[in-house]
Amino acid sequence: MERFVGQVFWRDYPQPKQYESNADHTWRMAMMLVTLEDKLSQEIDFKKAMKMLLVHDIPEMISGDPSPLGSDGTGSDSHAYDRDKASEKFNKENQAAENIFSKLPSSQASELHDLWLEFESQSSYEAKLVKALDKLEGKLQAYEYTKGVVFPKHRDFNLAYGVESYKMDPATEEFGEILLNKMKEDYIEFKV
């Protein structure tokens, strides 16, 4: 099975010196959680949110991490906007989660799998917060790779995809607006 070390955003861009790993992504999300915790509109179960953040992408070590951009850069044929592909992605990740977490003692396996499922179902404030941080960090990553020099469709995708997740709290919404405005300000069309 192919292993994805980092997320490749677009096959025609010059390659950066190094792609961000899942560990880099998760660490930055953790730092975002730490810095935003006291700015949130309501208290969170910080330990629960941190655990959820730490396990949210673990299944992708087995299932892979397909790009939400899809084959044409718009996401129209990917899990981003295709419900069947999203369901297929969830099923593969759930099988991987069960496999990975089954290696732990049963109480820990159950706790971590339940946290992963809670994240996937977005059934708590903490799950919505972790999803918002996941989307924000992904956009930050895309911006840093390209410094705003992107294909128009990729720009449009980044300005739209996952934005609804930021609106879960005024603090994450403000962070998202700052980031999206920076992406708009620095935009230069990439030409091959």
Task: List, for residues 89-136, the tens digit of each pLDDT value.
Answer: 999 999 999 999 999 999 999 999 999 999 999 999 999 999 999 999
In a domain, 52, yes or no: yes
Specify if 55 maps to a domain: yes
- Band of pLDDT at residue 152, cut at 50, 70 and 90: confident
Whether residue 44 lies inside any domain: the answer is yes
Answer whether residue 7 is part of any domain: no
Q: Is the pLDDT of residue 151 over 70?
A: yes
What is the domain count for the chain? 1
Interior/surface letters 125-153, b for 16+ CB within 10 angstroms, e for the rest: bbbbbbbbbbbbbbbbbbbebbebbbbee
Q: Which residue has the tokens 């759930």?
A: 94
The pLDDT of residue 53: 97
| Residue 8 placed within a domain | no
Q: How many CB atoms lie within 10 A of CB 156?
A: 14
Separation between Cα atoms, residue 88 and residue 115, nearest integer Å = 20
CATH assignment of the domain containing 142: 1.10.3210.10
> Tokens standing for 157?
């995708």
Residue 87 tokens read as 């369901």
Q: Is 112 inside any structural domain? A: yes
Supply the range of the domain harboring residue 46: 22-189
168: in domain: yes
Indicate the average pLDDT of the chain. Answer: 89
pLDDT tens-digit series, residues 8-38 = 445 566 676 667 788 899 999 999 999 999 9
CA-only gyration radius of the chain, Å: 17
Our CA angle for 12, 25, 175, nearest 5°, is 95
Flag whether 105 is in a domain. yes
